[in-house]
Structure 1
Amino acid sequence: MNPPTYLWNPPPVPSIAVQGRSERYPVNRLFFVGRNYHAHAIEMGRPVDKSVEVPFYFTKSPSTLVASGATVAYPPGTRDYQHEMELVVAIGAPGFRVSEEQAASLIYGYACGLDMTRRDLQLVAREKGRPWDLGKDVEDSSVVSEIVPAPGVVQGSGELVMTVNGEVRQKSDLSRLIWSIPELIADLSKYYHLQPGDLIYTGTPAGVGPVKPGDRIEGRVAGVGSIALNVGPEQA
């Protein structure tokens, strides 16, 4: 059977560099966990009671991925573009309805991530009960560092720090996640057949805030690596 032909060339497969490997990690889907640190939930006006609540998620298109160190344009339609620093879990094996005890077997490794957000648009949508897409699924808004392979390893602790122009904006520890990495993987696998190439941005700590053209964002997660982003001029 002849391979299909297309009206125009399809986009390349989104992928991420892997530490110590020439092969790249092909990306399938991007999952983001909302309000997974208590202090951030409070600063967003939505405290979390784990005893009666479950994790919630939103997704972004893999086309929003951009590598650490890039310069991205300040996006259109916003006057409140904000940073959110996160640990990213890279899935390396399929799993559906896995237990927390089985969850580690799906982990390929970890990366640092930034979930850049048009906060003003997100909050308008939230208050009106509308989807968050305009606020979250923003071009060049899913920043990621190279992946550090750590098959089967649960990253349960480690300092997370992010600065803007050298000033500390976010600082916390992975031990303060409301829902741990095994809990998140097990919960997501109730609703999705997780696949190699799925990325889980695990949530951001307190200290989110605006950036402007000319700002430089830098961050690191202990035991994982570092990330950087330059905010360029507003798009014409």
Structure 2
Amino acid sequence: MIGDLLPSWAVAEYARTDATDDATGVLFPEEEDCVARAVPKRRREFTTVRLCARAALRRLGHPPAPLLPGRRGAPCWPDGVIGSMTHCDGYRAAVVARAGDGLSLGIDAEPDGPLPDGVLDVVALPAEQDQLALLGARRPTVHWERLLFSAKESVFKTWYPLTGRELDFHEAQVTVDLESGTFSARLLVPGPVIGGRRLSSFTGRWAVDGGLVMTAIALPAATPD
């Protein structure tokens, strides 16, 4: 699944069904507080994606720890760890890596279906909408507008830990390569400065499988010039 889109230094775990209907005894008390008033669906997805994250952390040699949502809901990872989470109907996933191996990770999974009415205009730049039409003509079985949305979610999840700033949908332009299963995101605002070098774009991978559209970005610690 989504782990197939990631390099070997990133560890991913996923679940197609929720592990529990009751978070009691599964979540840390601090996590429990985050969903104390949540509806059951929200509790289940919150719990299961954290079980995925803890399983991935265990493979890195990290003991279980609370994974609390910070500002904008981004998870707060243990020291020395980078990561990302995603959840949608029928799928939960988390990916982690040692901070020495990567700068940032961003993953997203979405149901393989059309976007709700009105969302595409919020998400897509005019050039991206033109690209969607071309992609749809070449492979009409893929919901390309959903893939574009997913790619931009992965872009934001990669961007935010590096900057602590919001990134609007229209502040990155995504180009999808149909043949290679990759995409690039050109930042239309000044990117983060890493090691004295300003990043101007991210590159990721995408797949459509099992009723899902999935995208992933893994920014390595040493980026090419």
TM score, norm. by length of structure 1: 0.30
Structure showing the higher helix proportion among its residues: 2
Higher relative contact order (CA 8 A, sep 6+): 1
TM score, norm. by length of structure 2: 0.31
